[in-house]
Amino acid sequence: MNQCSDSVTINSIKLEICIGDLTEEHVDAIVNAANAYLQHGGGVAGAIVRKGGSIIQRESDEWIRLHQRVQHASPALTGAGNLPARYIIHAVGPIWGEGDEDRKLIEAVKGSLDLANSLNLISIAFPAISTGIYGFPKERAARIIIHTIQQWMEQKTLPSIQLIRVVLIDEKHYEMFVNELRINS
């Protein structure tokens, strides 16, 4: 069971910071830290497909066949296979060193929230996008992700989303995100 302790509520939307396994989240959608071609081999994406089943990769391949590639600001959507979530929002985060990384991470987070809201989803859970094999500095990502989510929450009136979770895999990541939430609240 994932543990969520620190939270803030803005415009009737609750933001929680949790430690645990993203694939176990009982939310409408989880966000996958994806690559532009939705090849889910390792990291968060690999774990999602291992637990959710090969249907996720098949739906991703079909999405790519129709749209060619995923942009930072326009994530892809698939079903969640055997996961407890209903959907997976595949957000492409930046690779550290490719340039303009902060803007691309902001776009990935906002694009995911906008897509979930456009689908009238109530709950969504994020990982620490781009902080694994993509090499984005963890503290910087924590600051950007928390600030972007809070800014999105402040700008929305009557959103469908009522719960946003950031689910971190370990204590070190968790503490970074909790510190950012405390600084920004």
Residue with tokens 């694009």: 111
Alpha-carbon span 112 to 90, nearest angstrom: 8
pLDDT digits (tens, 9 = 90+) for 124-178: 999 999 999 899 999 999 999 999 999 999 998 778 999 999 999 999 999 999 9
Distance (Å, rounded) from C-alpha 78 to C-alpha 35? Answer: 14
CA dist 9 and 185 (Å) reads 9
Count CA atoms within 13 Å of residue 38 on its CB side: 28
Calculate the alpha carbon distances from 68 to 38, 90, 147, 185 in Å.
Answer: 10, 14, 31, 40
What predicted TM-score, i.e. pTM, was given to this entire model? Answer: 0.95
Three-class SS state of 13: strand
110 vs 149: CA distance, rounded Å: 7
Q: Which amino acid is at 75?
A: P
pLDDT of residue 1: 58
Give the 3-state secondary structure of residue 83. coil
Nearest to 15 by CA among 137, 175, 147: 147
Tell me which residues of the chain have a pLDDT lower than 70: 1
Cα separation, 104 vs 12, whole angstroms: 27
CATH of domain 3-184: 3.40.220.10
Q: Could you tell me if 49 and 83 are in contact, meaning their C-beta atoms sit under 8 angstroms apart? A: no
pLDDT at 55: 97
> Could you state, in order of their start, the residue ranges of all structural domains in the chain?
3-184
pLDDT of residue 160: 94
Q: How far apart are CA 132 and CA 114, in angstroms?
A: 24
Contact 83, 27 (CB under 8 A): no
